[in-house]
Amino acid sequence: MPRPREFDEECVVAAIREVFWDKGYAATSVDDLMRASGLGKGSLYGAFGDKHRLFLRVLREYNDTNDRVLRERLASASRAVHFVREFVHGPSRDSTGASAQRGCLLANSTAELATSMPDVAAEARRSYDATAEILTEAIERARREGDVDPGVDADQVAYAVLAAQLGVVALGRTGMGVGALASVAESALTRLLPSPGHE
Amino acid sequence: MPRPREFDEECVVAAIREVFWDKGYAATSVDDLMRASGLGKGSLYGAFGDKHRLFLRVLREYNDTNDRVLRERLASASRAVHFVREFVHGPSRDSTGASAQRGCLLANSTAELATSMPDVAAEARRSYDATAEILTEAIERARREGDVDPGVDADQVAYAVLAAQLGVVALGRTGMGVGALASVAESALTRLLPSPGHE
DNA sequence: CGAGTTCTGGCCTGACTGGTCAACAACGCG
DNA sequence: CGCGTTGTTGACCAGTCAGGCCAGAACTCG
């Protein structure tokens, strides 16, 4: 009975995500969002509420997708240790360095907004905890598969690996070359995940 | 012959630093800066140029101070390994967690602005490189002092330690408790800086 | 065809943005 | 005491901000 929507909600969220990702929250105007999505202000506000709620929606979807992808990659990895290595090296896997410099929407948003928007901080924490959980599973599996020293406490190391990856992401934002970035990641990895033969 | 200034430049920069630190660049208005510094708009623009240049001035001074403090701490540390440990644990050294949640001005600014302001990215890179250099010195000294396994490549480990610290700072911004933060830092440290007895 | 419902896009507002500028004030020198 | 130089002030600018609102369009069902 009602008039049907002329846009696909997911496409709009995706387009808007790119803008927030590129410019940050405060530097993005509602006009930018209208242009990127092709929607009028009325449609945007009707469907998503104000800028703040729209941003939170984008961020949550981004995090959920990331978590899902990580789980899938772990499930389909031949060896769990490859998954962990790929996770830390992620930011340096770019021939041009453009995506490395762009960083991670979650990391960027947390740094910009955690103080003034508690819900962003909470969402970030939730997502990081989920990631750490996946990493814990991966490290446990890698231990069983004989690729990681059995003495390591998977839960403890998981957060250290996560911190290292966040650090690599942060360094990537400075424009550090992907080669240097990869060697930082590698340096952290070899020490955080000692092979079984090393004792 | 000229009319003397009625303000101390350093005090103004310090006051303004706090505002940028709390709110971020884009969310800070020139009005905020006037209120925080007590200066009129004309004085502010006359002394520092526009908002962008003022921010860069603040950031540079922040980084220089940080580097200087780090050098002093290393020079006066009884053992270099204590300095490195303190460096990584820094973000978790707060009883309330308020300063941990506030994060680091440099890290916040880089995440917010690296894409749109190349000079911020360059300044960040310069500062991180300087920090890594100090860390390299510290690790070499710790090796000589017998606190760190002589097999570690100080230069490689320095960047890994830096990345770990950046990660701890990022996690701190999510409101993670200082206790949890400290254990992440500790977990990373014990693996990145193995004691000599461990081989 | 008409009634009911939702969607759409643009207009409006009024507050706020970063930045400029001209008038005025405070000082040292001659 | 002027005079030149610089600092300070507040008014002012055009433009942008987020958000509210509404008249009309597009659709389904009766």
Better pLDDT: B199 or B171? B171
Rounded-to-integer distance, Cα B120 and Cα B146, Å? 39
Residues of chain A with C-beta less than 8 angstroms from the C-beta of B118 = 175
Distances from the Cα of A97 to the Cα of A2, A94, A165, A179, A186, angstroms: 47, 5, 16, 9, 17
Q: What is the pLDDT of residues A165-194, one digit of tens each?
A: 999 999 999 999 999 999 999 999 999 999
Residue A72 Cα, gap to closest chain B Cα (Å): 24
At B169-198, the pLDDT tens digits run: 999 999 999 999 999 999 999 999 998 865
Place of tokens 């890594």: B132
> What are the domain boundaries of chain A?
1-49, 60-198
pLDDT band of residue A4 (cuts 50, 70, 90) is low
Q: What's the CA gap between B167 and A168, in Å, rounded?
A: 8
Q: Which of B128, B100, B26, B14 is nearest to B61 (CA)?
A: B14
The reply to whether A1-49 and A60-198 are identical in fold is no
The predicted pLDDT at position B199 comes to 47
How much is the pLDDT for B163? 98
Query: ipTM of the predicted structure?
Result: 0.92
Among the partner residues B101, B118, B160, nearest to A184 by beta-carbon distance: B160
Closest partner CB to B112 (pick from A112, A166, A185): A112
Instruction: Among B121, B160, B175, select the one facing A125 at the smallest CB separation.
Output: B175
CB atoms within 10 A of CB A140: 16
> In chain A, what percentage of residues exceed pLDDT 90?
79
| CB crowding A161-195: b at 16 or more within 10 Å, else e | bbbbbbbbbbbbbbbbebeebbbbbbbbbebbbbe
> Rounded to an integer, what distance in angstroms lies between the CA atom of residue A21 and that of residue A166?
16
Closest residue in A to B159 (Cα) is A184
Least Cα distance to A128 among B128, B23, B191, B175 occurs for B175
**pLDDT greater than 70 at residue A199:** no
**CATH class of the domain defined by A60-198:** mainly alpha
Q: How many helices (H) and strands (E) does chain A have?
A: 10, 0
Query: Residue B153: is its pLDDT beyond 60?
Result: yes
**Radius of gyration of chain A from Cα atoms?**
19
Higher pLDDT, B2 or A47: A47
What is the per-residue pLDDT for A180? 96
Give residue numbers, 129 to 168 of A, with CB < 7 Å from strand D: none
Match domain B59-198 to its CATH number in 3.30.360.10, 1.10.357.10, 1.10.8.590, 3.60.15.10: 1.10.357.10
Higher-confidence position of A5 and A28: A28
pLDDT at A195: 81
**3-state SS assignment for residue A199:** coil
> Cβ of A110 and B170 within 8 Å?
yes
Whole-angstrom Cα distance, residue B80 to residue B82? 5
Q: Give me the total of CB pairs closer than 8 Å, taking one residue from chain A and one from chain B.
A: 171
- pLDDT of A1 reads 63
Q: What is the pLDDT of residues A65-122, one digit of tens each?
A: 999 999 999 999 999 999 999 999 998 888 788 899 999 999 999 999 999 999 999 9
Residue with tokens 């081989």: B199
Higher-pLDDT residue of B26 and A195 is B26
Contacts of B153 in chain A (CB under 8 A): 187
Q: How far is CA B41 from the centre of its chain?
A: 29
User: Any idea of the CA torsion for B88, B92, B98, B99, to the nearest 10 degrees?
Assistant: -20
Could you report the per-residue pLDDT of A132-159, keeping only the tens digit for each? 999 999 999 999 999 999 988 999 999 9
Architecture of domain A1-49: Orthogonal Bundle (1.10)
Instruction: Give the position of tokens 């950046």.
Output: B166
